[in-house]
Amino acid sequence: VVVGMGVFYVVVDQIVFRVPERRFKLALLSLLPVEMLLITLLIYFTRSHPIMEFDLLYALPVINVALWLGVKVGALYGLLGCAVLTVAMLLSGRLAEAGVIGSLMSRYGFCFFPALIVGFLAEFAEEENREKARRTVELTALSGFATVFDSSLIEEKVYASLCDAVSRSISPDVVLVFRLDQHRDQLAVAASEGVSEEESTLTIPRDYGLTGKVLARGEPILVSDTDLEWGYRQLLRSYRIRSAIYAPLKWREDVYGVIFAGSQSRESFSRHDLNLLSALAVQAALAIHNSRLYSDLEDRIGELQAIFEIDKSITSAIDLEKVLQQIVQMSLALIDAKTSSIMLLDEEKQELVIAAAHGLSEEYINKGPIKVGESIAGRVIEEGRPIAVYDITSDPRHAFPDHARAEGLCSLLSVPLNLKDRVIGVLNLYTDRPRHFTAHEINLFTTLAIQAAIAIENARLFESLEEIYIEVITALASAIDARDAYTHGHSNRVTEYAVAIAQEMGLSEEEVDIVRNASILHDVGKIGIKERILKKPGLLTEEERREMEYHPYIGTKILQSVKLLEPVMPLVYHHHERYDGKGYPDGLKGEDIPLGARI
């Protein structure tokens, strides 16, 4: 019997490692009764000198069954083991012994409880493995699709990629990706799978059924049985959808549409499917957000280029202070007068403040603002027309006769700085002797004021354009980073480390700001590098490498349009130099490399 048991365990060992999985269950259920038979024979042949511990061997096959086949089958085998144990004790003559009932019950328990514990642990471990495998599949799918989404800056491609991702990951019968049309207040199918050509152009009101509910609330919905779901409305004529999942295409507070996956069978989707669909929807919403941002940036750049051309055609002056000084000097050269000033309107406070003057004392300049409607200049703003005053020292409309008398001022010509349909200030011309300004002089001065208004607005615009241009370039650099999952967020991480190093080195705030701006913009020149080179997975050819090494120069050319970024340009240009002189573009060595570029 002992030899037989040895042979049996060798056979079982071979089965575990060699029998295909589909036959393993049947083989195991067939062989374990043989193990029980061998144990029964062992107990029977040792009946004259019984070894009580042999009774416990029945737990082995029961535990094996519970381990491999689960608690339920293990419990059934436990009952079988108890029955066989009872038969073995009956055959060996031990059933009639005193106290055997209590001993028998304890052996029954030993057959059952280890099997139950092992079975529960085995099922728990198997469920854990299934969950890990499922999570691995989900994460792999999300990672792969996130790369696709992040590399696409065309919105239509994002919708198509999302539709394909849902079809491959949860295998529904139908997929519909709805895009929200804010202007028409409706949802239109942007991509679809498994529907007719007519249904692929479906449009519905934004509050239609559960689709509208998901759009309004921004939360996903799982429908196990559409017949039992209040508010469900069929979207398709060609299919009767019995179960479905919905998820909003939502990024932060913006909702761009809804993704719908449907099946013709009830309870086809689980909470895991809903979570996966929601995760894919978030990835797609972020990609849509980036694609729209990139599209807006392209439009903004086109507008900026047009604005720059207009700016060049109007004036070459770009500094507001210099523009204002040039205007007051030009007005004195145009009409012989003592002094001139420009007052600009603070639209929020509705006050006029002297912004530039020639020939006026500091005391007069600092006399205080003028409210719209007050004094001569305030009336010019209010009425939007020129006013000529023969003697401001005696005219009751003038608010500061004593100041004018102290300055030696007499006559005044004040004209509005008109810019299309609004007035941005006034241009004042003073004489030291009484003078009647002619209609020709008034018209001439008005023409100058129109040109002055354009120049002032142009200078103001240029100052704001410098800031906008930096924002545009920065956002464009982020969009370029977002095209490729490998470089996504690279500029932000470079900025974080570079600023930390600069601060630790004790650089001034101004120097730290230069390092910060250079870090954000250092790779903006990659705009001019071919996309296939940027995304090439392997080594670059010599020709491709030379083109890639050209991006610091392209970045510098882009930034040189902004005067504010002049300190940044050397850092951008030299950020690929090396201490050993083997870097590019100039092969600088050691401390010849600018400090910011070294950082």
Instruction: Please indicate whether residue 133 or residue 206 has the higher confidence score (pLDDT).
Output: 206
Is the pLDDT reported for residue 414 higher than 50? yes
64 pLDDT band, cuts 50/70/90, is confident
Hey, is 387 helix, strand or coil? strand
Whether residues 158 and 118 share a domain: the answer is no
- Pairing mode, if any, of strands 174-181 and 186-193? antiparallel
**433 and 341 within one domain:** yes
Residue 578 is encoded by which pair of tokens?
């090396």
Do residues 12 and 44 share a domain? yes
251/286 Cα distance (integer angstroms): 6
Residue-wise pLDDT for 465-484, tens only, equals 767 766 776 776 776 666 66
Give which of 94, 90, 98, 103 is closest to 48, Cα–Cα: 94
- Do 272 and 398 sit in the same domain of this protein? no
Q: Does residue 288 sit in the same domain as residue 348?
A: no
Q: What is the dihedral of CA 307, 311, 312, 317, to 10 degrees?
A: -150
Q: Which residue has the higher pLDDT, 365 or 263?
A: 263
* pLDDT surpasses 80 at 384: yes
Residues 282 and 204 in one domain: yes
What's the token pair of residue 432? Answer: 């030291």
Which of 431, 449, 467 is at the close of a domain?
Answer: 449
Q: Residue 161's domain spans which residues?
A: 152-295
Which CATH number characterizes residue 518's domain?
A: 1.10.3210.10
Q: Let me know whether 107 and 191 are in one domain.
A: no
Please tell me the pTM assigned to this model. 0.38
Q: Domain for residue 469, yes or no?
A: no
Dist CA 127 CA 132 (whole Å)? 9
Task: Evaluate whether 412 touches 429 at the Cβ level (below 8 Å).
Answer: yes
Structure tokens at 498: 């570079």
Residue 467 lies in a domain: no
- In this structure, what CATH number is given to the domain that contains residue 415? 3.30.450.40
Q: What is the number of domains present in the chain? A: 4
Q: Is the pLDDT of residue 53 over 80?
A: no
pLDDT (0 to 100) of residue 313: 38
What number is the average pLDDT over the span 284-308?
70
120 and 11 both lie in a single domain: yes
Q: What letter would DSSP give residue 583?
A: -
188 and 125 within one domain: no
Which residues neighbour 385 within 8 Å (Cβ) at sequence distance 6 or greater?
416
Last residue of a domain, one of 295, 328, 354: 295
